[in-house]
A = this chain, B = another copy of it.
């Protein structure tokens, strides 16, 4: 699974050539994938306990997607069940005045994970080569050097004990239309509908091009990007949980050893 969706460094990514349909990659039954997802979630909860108890390393998980791509739903579904004491979700909205008065990595650096912690980024520093680029918020001379700056920043984190995993939730343009339509059709979902999302949809190709370059330039050995087919939530959740479980198995965190001599202590 990890191999299947990982983008190798120096790939020229073409997102239109990658199916957003989970069924392309999986011939089994949906129910089996759902059962496997639940088992993965349980296993993740146990790994997280060990990760926190070990307290030595850091895990950073980044989610990026177009609107309605499923970032919130993924975080809710994949990370519910994990002890929130060891997980911190950071959601990056439009930067504040204070954040804009600093470099774009300033607000990111403040919330990278501490030892034993898992940080989950709902959007991230990648917005600064995506939305910023598509809508000409800063000139190319400013955003283009960011690919290399981001790589250097992520390398610093990796070199200092952080495992980094980045997920792009890949939905098709038709699937986005369906999700927006659902929000319009169901009065209970009206609050999720933002007219601005339609304006951004008009830039679909530009966003895809921006994602393609960002992922191509910044999928590195120390901070790989995964392109997750996300038209079906069940496949998306399962694939992501499997990649996280695979990662944890490899990292194999352990409860700390202690060299206390229990016979030395008497409880009165």
Q: How far is the CA of A91 from the CA of B268 in the complex (A)?
A: 29
Chain A interface residue number, banded = 35 or more
Q: Closest residue to A260 on the B side, CB-wise?
A: B190
Q: How far is the CA of A122 from the CA of B188 in the complex (A)?
A: 36
Whether A191 touches B267, Cβ cut-off 8 Å, given contacts A81-B81, A85-B89, is no
Shortest C-beta distance, A174 to chain B (Å), equals 10
Contact of A265 among B53, B198, B257 (CB under 8 A): B198
Please choose the segment from A5-13, A132-140, A176-184 that sits at the chain B interface, where 4 or more of its residues have CB less than 8 A away.
A176-184
* A190 / chain B contacts, CB cutoff of 8 Å: 257-258, 260, 262
In this complex, what residue of B is CB-closest to A77? B83
The distance in angstroms between the C-alpha atoms of A84 and B268, with both chains bound, is: 40
Q: Does A185 contact B (CB under 8 A)?
A: yes
- Check A209 for interface membership: any CB of B closer than 8 A: no
Of the residues B53, B81, B267, contact of A201 by C-beta under 8 Å: B267
Please tell me which one of the listed residues B180, B201, B255, B268 contacts residue A191 in the complex, with CB atoms under 8 A apart.
B255
- Asked if B191 and A258 sit within 8 Å, CB to CB, the answer is yes
Tell me, yes or no, whether A158 is within 8 Å of chain B by CB: no
Q: Which residues from 54 to 99 on chain A have a C-beta closer than 8 Å to any C-beta of chain B?
A: 72, 75-76, 79-85, 87-89, 91
8 A-B pairs (CB sep. < 8 Å):
A75-B85, A81-B81, A84-B84, A84-B120, A88-B88, A184-B265, A193-B258, A193-B262
